[in-house]
Amino acid sequence: FSMQNHKNGKTSHKDATSKKDKPQTKTKMEHIFGFKKEDLTSWRSLVSLLNRPTDPASLGIFRCLFGLLMAIDITQERGLSHLDYKYLDGAPVCRFPLFNFLQPLPMDWMYLVYVVMFLGALGIMFGCFYRLSCLMFISTYWYIFFLDKTTWNNHSYLYGIIGFQLILMDGNRYWSIDGLWKPSIRNAHVPLWNYTVLRAQIFIVYFIAGVKKLDADWVEGYSMSYLAHHWLFDPFKVILPVDLVSLLVVHGCGLVLDLTAGYLLFFDVTRPYAFFFVSYFHCMNSQLFSIGMFPYTMLATSPLFCYPDWPRRFFARFPAFLRGALPFTTCDLQPSTSCVYPEIENTSTERQETPPVAKTPKLRLRHKLGAIFTVLYIIEQFFLPYSHFITQGYNNWTNGLYGYSWDMMVHSRSHQHVKITYKDGKTGEIGFLNPGVFTQSRRWKDHGDMLKQYATCLSQLLPRYNISEPEIYFDIWVSINERFQQRIFDPRVDIVKADWSPFQPNPWLMPLLVDLSPWRTKFQEIEGSLDNQTEIVFIADFPGLHLENFVSEDLGNTSVQVLQGKVNIEIVEEKKNFTLEPGEQIKVPAGAYHKVYTVSDEPSCYMYIYVNTTEAALQENFTKLFELQERIRNGTETEPLPPELQPLIAADDGEGAEVNATDPIVRLFLKRQRRMKEVKKRREAGVLERLERFTIKKYYSVRRGFLMTAIALRNLAVGLPPLEQLTREVAFANMKEPQAEANQDERLKDEVGHTEL
């Protein structure tokens, strides 16, 4: 339940007196867990334990930090800075709400929703109109959260449930504006269950995330193998090869930390070590992933496991002249009706004094409700991650609704092929749509419920383009955790008419070919035997289906080799068919279509082997230009350069050489060099320069969000201004720093393949 500080302050004068008369001794269980086994022997004792008076200091500091982080999050991950791009008034956009009846308000009103959410976060931070602020925050937060499933993730779900918890807690008893207005709640006790719920929640986040990582893919090092190439793991590569860094450091240490972090944070002896490791872990995550405030929110939760009075001891070390602006350091706490205090009966007489006798405390309804909520909430949080047997319609190789599962980073996916085919229901005309048309998200490719929503939306929009009663078919190929690329949905099913229910299995979802998972070891051997210019794609397909593929003219020497099963390859233009058994291969022509039919009774496995001849030739030219440039710099090049190579001499002067280059290969070479130079400059930048760059970027992002919000609120208050004025105002809000404007169309990419991070 909790660790209870021995310096919590005075609960009552009588209690303090009795302690002086007879020192209290604690059992070993009390020292370790903070409660006695007798506290769990009956419902009444459990209610008393959960409502035990506790110092509000740690809860107050967490409330303040959480409100601050949520206020920052609203401008970042919640999307205030680009709200007008997301909610386009009147535009034909397909959206993915949790409930289909949920729709966004007009754009100016959406800005008002965000203002309410932002004010709620600030109110939580300052403890001002605390419960009203919590209600403002969570009502608008959950509306935004339910409005778009494509942004669902575990940490966004965590923010919402912590906001819900805070509205039921007495988080404004310490360092709050409410405490200035209402002295009766200032520095008053809070019931222990306030801490119990928060600590249990964070324990569940860590522990269930660890349990989910006991999956074979994680234990064997397939889930997040690409992370080992990140520069953060370079120190480990000094003593370990990359594959062991992935297996032992990324996957092994991640599993151990998640399984043990909650336990290590709970106990006094292990807490300092837990602080170090979880802080290091979250700081790394802030650099590895674009997950907003999540690492910092988790860092803010760690002190909740300390003794509740830690802020008093911490701020007491500050100079006296700062105390006025800092939280309370006094230990004189006020009693609270939210807590249960032990009642003492004094049985002394004139002739003989006996020790005070503890009476059974009086339990009120609010105390019982707090205990009931605590018990039911913890049970519910342990149940939800394993409740996917209820929401079977959401089963898409990751079980159920992803957002409450805590299966963080357990799966990595790559998409090789996405094709959307429409058929006119009246004329029979067949055509193709660009993947992602009419939507701003890409997550629909992996989730059956979103695919159904997308198909329904497309069927409503396509009649505007003279396509009557459209049928929509999806052919999507996905590799999960480095397996074969395979179909995730049945390409023969019209998704518009297909049935879908959140409580029934999805009949048009193709099963994951887990029996082929052992092939991944063979993949590594095959890839290791290839040269740097040869690339390979592993494909698995179901009996009775076929893959239609087009080989680009850039890809020379492309061949198909069968690994398992039996396939028939049709060269469309040549009207030829070839049947291949395991171990056989055939070369397919470039610049033409071919089809691969699975004709065996079991799934077929085959691989494409190809060389990007255009890229290989370009790299060869780049190598020659680089060698020539080095000879020019060293003064060893004696031959006069032709005009098209003259820009190589002036390459060190800046972009002018790139602009003046007439040869397209020379222009690409100089452009690539400039990018590499800028990447190197950014990597080698000092801490102050990085901080300045980060600050400027965030400033302009936040600036845009607040300016656009001001425009929207003005529009709601007095109406739309003339179009020219509105255009000038939006242009002013869109203003960026000069460097960002110059590089707006050329985003720097990491040359060693870290761009996916």
Contact at 8 Å (CB) between 354 and 205?
no
CA distance 77 to 62: 21
For 609, the 3-state DSSP assignment is strand
State the burial class of residue 347 (Cβ atoms within 10 Å of its Cβ: 0-12, 13-18, 19+).
exposed
> Is the distance from CB of 266 to CB of 32 less than 8 angstroms?
no
Residues 295, 299, 301: CA angle, nearest 5 degrees: 120
**Token pair in block for residue 657:** 């050489």
What is the spatial order of strands in the sheet that 486-487 belongs to?
430-433, 413-423, 471-480, 486-487
Reference 754, options 357, 419, 287; nearest CA is 287
Q: Which two tokens stand for residue 702?
A: 């936040």
The reply to whether 213 belongs to the active site is: yes
Residues 6+ apart with CB under 8 A from 483: 512, 513, 516, 517, 519, 520, 540
Residue 363 CA neighbour count, 13 Å, CB half: 18
Q: Are 536 and 609 in contact (CB under 8 A)?
A: yes
Residue 140 neighbours by CB distance under 10 Å: 22
Measured CA to CA, the distance from residue 545 to residue 711 in angstroms comes to: 54
Contacts from 728-736 at CB under 8 Å and sequence distance 24+?
A: 732/707, 733/703, 733/704, 733/707, 733/708, 734/704, 735/700, 736/700
**Gap between the Cα atoms of 272 and 254, Å rounded:** 19
Alpha helices in 238-396 (DSSP H): 242-244, 254-266, 271-288, 294-301, 310-315, 365-383
**CB 336 within 8 Å of CB 12:** no
274-279-280-283 Cα dihedral, nearest 10 degrees: 160
What gap in Å lies between CA 210 and CA 208, rounded to an integer?
A: 5
Q: Which of 86, 149, 212, 213 is catalytic?
A: 213
Q: Which amino acid is at 387?
A: S
φ, ψ of residue 629 to 5 degrees: the values are -65, -40
* 340 residue type, one letter: V
What is the pairing mode between strands 567-571 and 430-433? unpaired
* DSSP code of residue 166: H
* Rounded Cα gap, residues 674 and 680, in angstroms: 10
Cα angle 152-158-164, degrees, rounded to a multiple of 5: 115
Helix (H) or strand (E) holding 597: strand 592-598
Q: How far is CA 218 from CA 140, 544, 757, in A?
A: 36, 32, 19
Region of 540 on the Ramachandran plot (φ > 0 left; ψ -120 to 50 alpha; else beta): beta
Q: Which secondary-structure segment (H or E) carries 31?
A: helix 28-33
* DSSP secondary structure letter of residue 360: P
Tell me which residue of 410, 449, 485 sits closest to 227, measured CA to CA.
410
H helix or E strand, kind and range, residue 179: helix 177-181
Two structure tokens written together for 309: 């009075």
Which residue in the block uniquely carries the two structure tokens 């893959």?
Answer: 547
Q: Which are the contacts of 735, defined by CB distance < 8 A and separation ≥ 6?
A: 700
Residues annotated as catalytic are: 213
